[in-house]
Amino acid sequence: SQQGEEDPQALSIQEGENATMNCSYKTSINNLQWYRQNSGRGLVHLILIRSNEREKHSGRLRVTLDTSKKSSSLLITASRAADTASYFCATIPLKGGGFKTIFGAGTRLFVKA
């Protein structure tokens, strides 16, 4: 598997439900970021969590980080149809410098109205 691998690859839920996406990585990291991409558009930075943080909130987003398991999760609460997008995690390895940011292949989320 690759650094920054999201799971599941695709997720379909009803509006109002919560959506949980997971990201696993291999090497020690400095921080982990989540991005969102609407179809055929650029990525939008959602939230960053540093390696010394365990949980972070931003509006309806909740991100957790477990460095012992090398994994992170993104929870979107009370989902809306407008949340339909692909979600990517990006990790910055502890060694190698910032331009080694590694993106996963993403989770495609579909929220049905």
Angstrom distance (rounded) from CA 47 to CA 83 = 15
- Contact between 8 and 108 (Cβ < 8 Å): no
Among 1, 40, 59, 113, the residue binding other proteins under the rule CB under 8 A is 40
23 binds other proteins (CB under 8 A): no
- Site for other proteins contains 59 (CB under 8 A): no
**Contact pick of 72, 83, 104, 107 for other proteins (by CB under 8 A):** 104
By CB under 8 A, name the binding residues for other proteins. Answer: 2, 4, 29-31, 33, 35, 40-45, 48, 50, 88, 92, 94, 97-99, 101-106
